[in-house]
């Protein structure tokens, strides 16, 4: 950590000194920050206007005015009364939390085996996991749908939750990458202390790999919370099983003109993701950069 | 009683002792490993290998979920390649996203990452700001964009009007619907941007210093130091981007149903899919429509097999580069 900061601050200091000497560098700095500020305004524009619209009365959203007059906080209440938002919210939580827990139970040991244990067929398994991770879900959708429909589970969220008990390719990949960075010596020491592989995993690897495991869990939570194709496939017929993201799209389609409520719902759907992100920022960003790129 | 035995066992493993003991420990190890990987192996078989083979089988059949699949040979494929009235539109729409959305997203993400890598002050603030849109659930961001780009009263056209520009119809005009989704795709480029940023910040500083000593100017440093260090990330971004674009579904489906103001996809809504004028009908939506709205599961399977072959070609490219994004390969 300290070594890293040193190497990154040294050139920065030098550049700062250069800036004082050369007006050309100063101009470049101003130009860069002008571009950044313009981009920042453009990127913030949607958020600001979604927020403003969510505070407008439904009649005002149909006029060209951009500023709420008067401020109407009622849309946030109406979102819950005009649609079964609480039920959809509950469905989303059930889906996201169970999917995440199931994934952890099944995928942590698999990731550990792939990262730290040598066994025949491990390369084949790893390649299969990468392929499964990157294959469009539509390719296998028909037979899997037939399977769940024969089990009578279509119209529920279980076809989206239960498969996580049998591992999730992306999570296994992500956690394997993280486990690889843990020195093998720690595991060896635990083995000499009399631990079996299960003990090594639970007493050494899991505590040391908390950030990597947390990143995979957050990814799983976000993906389930944001999922649209899955609920469309399995729950579209049964609105009592809709998660909130799917319900939001339907609400807007049916209640054509209620833009104020729709924007309030849009923000409500986003809030859990932003809250989780705020608490896990560092771990999450680490997880993203780790995903594909490097160790 | 157990402690010395285990100690001997552990030592035995380290120095590779007599055979019988080794076999015993390796059997236990094998059972543990088997228990660790069994769920995932089972998962890969049930949710990946079996459905893949079943898709190939169904693609040669007439299958509506109610009665058993009926073998019809290559008829699904000949229909797909010669008769399906919308397959060309759907394929071209998907290719539009592959050819335009992927490079534009990558270039934007890299540009922003480049700027952020140089902004030393308040870097955390800038990073969070440009990453935030990536957090918004896709359905929510599409709904928001359809509102923002609402031709009559939406803020975007209001602001454009302020500058004396008459805004287009955006999501309601077949010529502008895909560019509207492109803008959305650029807005949520934060996940890519973070990857590029991390990679830019990781370029060893001494490489730039060496280049400076050799008298390289800024552009040459970009070409001979920055670019080579970015290649693995770039390969990863291109290939995963292309595969994501091939399955482009949620944004287009939600934009169609929300902009048209009619019932959702999946219900009785064949007229909504692809709104306006099939301009947002992508390959995977057409697959979904044929398979799960019209219950032509055999035909949908044939479409899935074709998608698998195309995506598979990109996967082969990726697996060829798999070393580029595993830790062993990176070092």
* B265 near A CB under 8 A: yes
Contact criterion met (CB below 8 Å) for A212 and A179: yes
Q: Token pair for residue B216?
A: 């390289």
Residues 6+ away with beta carbon under 8 Å from B329: B322, B323
Q: Token pair for residue A283?
A: 């771990």
Give the one of B11, B143, B236 whose C-beta lies nearest to A262's C-beta: B143
The Cα–Cα gap between A180 and A119 comes to 16
Residues of chain A found within 8 Å of residue B194, distances taken between Cβ atoms: 285, 288-289
pTM, whole model, 2 decimals? Answer: 0.85
Residues of chain B found within 8 Å of residue A8, distances taken between Cβ atoms: 201, 205
Fold of A83-290: MetI-like fold (1.10.3720)
Note down pLDDT in tens along chain B; length 331 residues: 334 444 444 444 444 444 445 555 678 888 888 999 999 999 999 999 999 999 999 999 999 988 889 999 999 999 999 989 899 999 999 999 999 999 999 999 999 999 998 877 777 888 888 999 999 999 999 999 998 998 888 889 888 988 988 889 999 889 999 999 999 999 999 989 988 988 888 888 888 889 988 888 888 888 888 888 888 888 888 888 998 999 999 999 999 888 887 544 444 444 578 888 889 999 999 999 999 988 999 999 999 999 999 998 888 877 776 555 454 443 3
Contact criterion met (CB below 8 Å) for A144 and B51: yes
Alpha-helical segments (H) within chain B:
2-15, 19-44, 50-58, 75-82, 87-96, 102-118, 123-135, 138-148, 155-162, 174-187, 190-201, 205-213, 218-221, 227-246, 250-260, 283-288, 297-320, 327-330
Q: State the pLDDT at residue B12.
A: 41
CB contact under 8 A, B43 and A166: yes
Q: Is A136 left (phi over 0), alpha (psi -120 to 50) or beta?
A: beta
Q: How many CB atoms lie within 10 A of CB B76?
A: 25
pLDDT in tens, B77-119: 999 999 898 999 999 999 999 999 999 999 999 999 999 988 7
pLDDT in tens, B282-320: 999 999 999 998 899 999 999 999 999 999 888 887 777
Contact criterion met (CB below 8 Å) for A85 and A268: yes
Within 142-201 of B, beta carbons closer than 8 Å to A belong to 142-148, 150, 152-153, 155, 158, 187, 191, 194-195, 198-199, 201
* A18 near B CB under 8 A: no
Residues of chain A found within 8 Å of residue B145, distances taken between Cβ atoms: 46
CB contact under 8 A, B40 and A106: yes
Indicate the domain borders of chain A.
Answer: 83-290
CB contact under 8 A, A293 and B288: no
Residues of chain A found within 8 Å of residue B158, distances taken between Cβ atoms: 64, 66
Query: In order of start, what are the domains of chain B with their CATH numbers?
Result: 6-58 (no CATH), 84-321 (1.10.3720.10)
Assess: ipTM above 0.90.
no
* B318 near A CB under 8 A: yes
Give the one of A142, A177, A262 whose C-beta lies nearest to B58's C-beta: A142
* B233 near A CB under 8 A: yes
Residues of chain A found within 8 Å of residue B13, distances taken between Cβ atoms: 191
CA-based nearest residue to B21, from B11, B33, B34, B12: B12
CB contact under 8 A, B54 and A142: yes
């Amino acid at each position: 950590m300290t070594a890293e900061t040193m190497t990154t601050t040294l050139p920065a200091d030098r550049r700062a000194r250069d800036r004082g000497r050369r007006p050309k560098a100063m101009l470049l700095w101003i130009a860069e920050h002008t571009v950044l500020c313009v981009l920042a305004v453009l990127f913030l524009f949607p958020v600001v206007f979604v927020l403003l619209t969510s505070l407008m009365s439904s009649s005002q959203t149909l006029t060209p005015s951009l500023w709420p007059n008067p401020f109407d906080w009622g849309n946030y209440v109406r979102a819950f009364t005009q649609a079964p938002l609480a039920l959809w919210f509950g469905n989303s939580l059930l889906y996201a939390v169970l999917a995440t827990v199931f994934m952890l139970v099944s995928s942590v040991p698999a990731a550990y085996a792939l990262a730290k244990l040598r066994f025949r067929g491990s390369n084949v398994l790893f390649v299969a996991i990468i392929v499964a991770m990157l294959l469009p879900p539509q390719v296998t959708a028909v037979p899997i749908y037939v399977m769940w429909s024969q089990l009578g589970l279509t119209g529920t969220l279980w076809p989206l939750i239960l498969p996580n008990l049998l591992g999730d390719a992306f999570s296994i990949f992500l956690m394997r990458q993280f486990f690889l960075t843990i020195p093998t010596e720690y595991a060896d020491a635990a083995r000499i202390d009399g631990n079996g592989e299960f003990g090594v995993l639970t007493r050494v690897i899991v505590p040391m790999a908390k950030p990597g495991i947390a990143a995979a869990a957050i990814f799983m939570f976000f993906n389930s919370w944001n999922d649209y194709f899955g609920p469309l496939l399995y729950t579209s017929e049964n609105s009592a099983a809709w998660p909130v993201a799917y319900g939001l799209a339907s609400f807007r389609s049916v209640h054509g003109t209620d833009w104020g409520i729709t924007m309030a719902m849009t923000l409500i759907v986003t809030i859990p993701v932003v809250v989780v992100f705020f608490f896990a920022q560092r771990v999450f960003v680490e997880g993203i950069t780790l995903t594909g790129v490097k160790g | 009683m157990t402690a010395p035995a285990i100690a001997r066992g552990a030592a035995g493993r380290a120095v590779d002792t007599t055979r019988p003991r080794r076999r015993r420990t390796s059997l236990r190890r094998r059972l543990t490993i088997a228990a660790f990987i069994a769920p995932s192996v089972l998962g890969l078989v049930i949710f990946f290998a079996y459905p893949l083979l079943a898709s190939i089988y169904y693609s040669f059949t007439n299958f509506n979920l109610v009665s058993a699949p009926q073998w019809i040979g290559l008829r699904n494929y000949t229909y797909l390649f010669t008769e399906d009235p919308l397959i060309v539109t759907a394929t071209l729409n998907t290719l539009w996203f592959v050819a335009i959305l992927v490079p534009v997203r990558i270039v934007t993400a890299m540009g922003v990452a480049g700027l952020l890598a140089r902004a030393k002050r308040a870097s955390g603030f800038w990073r969070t700001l440009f990453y935030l849109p990536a957090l918004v659930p896709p359905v929510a961001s599409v709904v928001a964009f359809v509102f923002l780009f609402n031709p009559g009263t939406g803020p975007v056209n209001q602001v454009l009007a302020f500058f004396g520009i008459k805004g287009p119809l955006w999501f309601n005009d077949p010529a502008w619907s895909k560019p509207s989704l492109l803008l959305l795709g650029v807005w949520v480029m934060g996940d890519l941007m973070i990857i590029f940023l991390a990679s830019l910040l990781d370029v060893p500083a001494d490489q730039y210093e060496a280049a400076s000593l050799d008298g390289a100017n800024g552009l040459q440093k970009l070409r001979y130091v920055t670019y080579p260090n970015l290649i693995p990330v770039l390969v990863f971004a291109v290939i995963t981007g292309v595969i994501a674009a091939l399955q482009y579904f949620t944004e287009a489906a939600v934009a169609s149903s929300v902009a048209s103001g009619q019932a959702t996809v999946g219900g009785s809504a064949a007229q909504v899919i692809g709104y306006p004028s099939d301009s947002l009908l992508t390959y995977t939506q057409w697959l979904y429509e044929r398979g799960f709205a019209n219950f032509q599961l055999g035909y949908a399977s044939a479409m899935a097999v074709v998608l698998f072959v195309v995506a598979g070609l990109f996967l082969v490219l990726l697996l060829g580069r798999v070393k580029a994004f595993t830790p062993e390969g990176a070092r």
